[in-house]
Amino acid sequence: MASPSPLRNASHRRLNPLTGEWVLVSPHRTQRPWQGRREPQAPTPALAHDPDCYLCPGNSRANGVRNPDYPHTFVFDNDFPALKADAPTTREVDGLLVAEDETGLCHVLCFSPRHDLTLARMAVADIERVVDVWVEETIALGGLPDIASVQIFENRGEMMGASNPHPHGQIWATRHLPNELEKETDRQAAYLVQHGRPLLVDYLDRELELGERVVFANDDFCVLVPFWAIWPFETMILPRRRIGGFEELRTREKTSLAAALSQLTRRYDKLFDTPFPYSMGFHQKPTDGALHVEWQMHAHFYPPLLRSATIRKFMVGFEMLGSPQRDLTPEAAAERLREAAG
């Protein structure tokens, strides 16, 4: 959609080319009366080391195992994993009732020994160590037989169900492609066949030409609010060259990715003057042994906040039963995030 577009002020729907799904945009609804107020800010953890935290160095976890005195990052097998490495290979089909085994590995990654930090408050050099672990985990888990996908993610903040304020993320490696990865793989593969270029390479080229949804860019990565964003301040981090997965990152690109993560999370915190909750994660090429030249790795940030530190967007009603809907346009959200610099 080249601007100015007649659709811009009317309700319309936008296609997500990565999934084939539509989002409803209702820009006129932002003129609705709003009697909002500013809430007291959520306190940030004051302790650098919390003796009651399961993730702090030297402490015992819920199952009694003691964490090492780790100086930077720390990876461990999730003590309550959603997946186990061993399950019989079976598939049961009874008409519409279809089930099959799913196996995999669940790791927890502490980003820092400091209990009171978040990505936004960590030094770029320390975030780079987190990126290094994501590379190592992708290579180690992705290299295992029977692992088709390495899904890296972080749930940040109580609002997103994070169990603990200690900065940490998770890595789930699975035998089958999860839904989102399967959709994105199919759509990127079809686009490559049809256009001869990767979908997200073409997409970023166009966004950089238009500029209106770009939040910021460095030498190797661009952060933007996608044209088809569902969450009010949803963003993507996209590499500027074609990179299928973490193991393809060059040294300089790891630094640039850490810098982009730092800058984005700082802007988020600034937006409502609160530690910004989100679910974020990286999509990368499947580790099923195929080349996957259609794949462009990227991060999705899905933050729920809409208007303030506590007023969030709910995905209910029409959104659960029909399609996601938003009032604030992606262009307006990008502008707000551009303004939240510093």
Catalytic residues: 168
Under rule CB under 5 A, residue 105 binds Zn ion: no
Residues 6+ apart with CB under 8 A from 251: none
- Residue 114 CA to residue 103 CA, distance in Å, equals 33
Residue with the CB atom nearest Zn ion in the bound state: 53
Between 53 and 249, whose beta carbon lies closer to Zn ion? Answer: 53
- Please pick, from the candidates 18, 23, 53, 147, the single residue that binds Zn ion as defined by CB under 5 A: 53
CA angle 8, 12, 14 (to 5 degrees): 95
User: With respect to Zn ion, which residue has the nearer C-beta, 23 or 110?
Assistant: 110
56 binds Zn ion (CB under 5 A): yes
Burial of 150 (0-12, 13-18, 19+ CB in 10 A): buried
* 325-326 vs 21-25, strand pairing mode: parallel
- Residue 326's binding partner out of Zn ion, ligand H2U, none, with CB under 5 to 8 Å set by partner kind: none
- Minimum distance, C-beta of residue 51 to Zn ion, in the bound complex (Å): 9
- What residue is closest to ligand H2U based on CB? 61
Q: How far is the CB of 62 from Zn ion (least distance, A)?
A: 13
Measured over the CA atoms of residue 74, residue 102, residue 175 and residue 192, the dihedral's sign is negative
Task: Between 156 and 213, name the residue whose CB sits nearer to ligand H2U.
Answer: 156
DSSP 95: T
Catalogue the E-assigned strands of 35-193: 74-77, 91-94, 97-100, 104-110, 149-156, 168-174
What minimum distance in Å lies between the beta carbon of 332 and ligand H2U?
31
Task: Give the nearest distance from C-beta 154 to Zn ion in angstroms.
Answer: 15
Q: Which is nearer to ligand H2U, 109 or 217 (CB)?
A: 109
* Binding track over 60-99 against Zn ion, x by CB under 5 A: ----------------------------------------
Site of interaction with ligand H2U (CB under 6 A): 54, 61-62, 78-80, 108, 155, 161-164, 170
The distance of closest approach from Cβ of residue 146 to ligand H2U in the complex, given in angstroms and rounded to an integer, is 22
- Which CB atom, from 111 or from 203, has the smaller least distance to ligand H2U? 111
From 14, 107, 115, 326, residue interacting with Zn ion (rule: CB under 5 A): 115
170 binds, among Zn ion, ligand H2U, none (CB under 5 to 8 A by kind): ligand H2U
Residue 292 touching Zn ion (CB under 5 A): no
Strands (E) located in the chain: 12-16, 21-25, 74-77, 91-94, 97-100, 104-110, 149-156, 168-174, 214-217, 221-224, 235-239, 278-283, 298-302, 325-326
How far are the Cα atoms of 18, 49, 73, 157, 223 from residue 45, in angstroms, in the given order? 37, 10, 19, 11, 28
Alpha-carbon span 80 to 85, nearest angstrom: 13
The contact set with Zn ion (CB under 5 A) reads 50, 53, 55-56, 115, 166
